[in-house]
Amino acid sequence: MSLQLDNIDARILELLQRDGRMMYKDIAREVGISLPTVRDRINKLMELGVIRKFTAIVDSEKLWGRTRAFVLAQPVGGNVDGILEKVKDINEVRAAYLVAGEKQMLLEVEVDDLHQLGEFVAKYAHVELGLSNASSFVITKILKEEYGAAVKPNASLQFKCDFCDCLIYGKPIIEYIDGGRYYFSGKDCAQAFKERRLHPTRA
Say if residue 129 is in the same domain as residue 69.
yes
For 7-166, list the strands marked E by DSSP: 67-75, 93-98, 105-111, 131-138, 159-160
How many domains would you assign to the chain?
Answer: 3
Look at residue 66 and tell me if it is in a domain.
yes
First to last CA, the chain: 32
* DSSP 8-state code for residue 171: S
Say if residue 71 is in the same domain as residue 121.
yes
Domain end position, chosen among 103, 138, 173:
138
Say if residue 71 is in the same domain as residue 126.
yes
Which pLDDT does position 58 carry in this prediction?
A: 80
Look at residue 153 and tell me if it is in a domain.
no
177, containing H or E segment: strand 173-177
Which pLDDT does position 33 carry in this prediction?
A: 96
Look at residue 39 and tell me if it is in a domain.
yes
* Structure confidence by residue, pLDDT tens digits, 111-148: 999 999 999 988 877 777 878 888 999 999 888 888 88
Could you list the residue range(s) of the whole structural domain that residue 88 is in? Answer: 60-138
Composition of the chain by helix, strand, coil, percent to 5: 40, 25, 40
Say if residue 27 is in the same domain as residue 73.
no
Look at residue 150 and tell me if it is in a domain.
no
The mean-pLDDT minimum among 58-62, 108-112, 176-180 falls in 58-62
* Structure confidence by residue, pLDDT tens digits, 24-45: 999 999 999 999 999 999 999 9
Which pLDDT does position 74 carry in this prediction?
A: 87
In this prediction the pTM is 0.70
Domain end position, chosen among 57, 85, 102:
57
Residue range 96-119: mean pLDDT, rounded: 90
Say if residue 38 is in the same domain as residue 89.
no
Look at residue 146 and tell me if it is in a domain.
no
pLDDT above 70 as % of the chain = 96
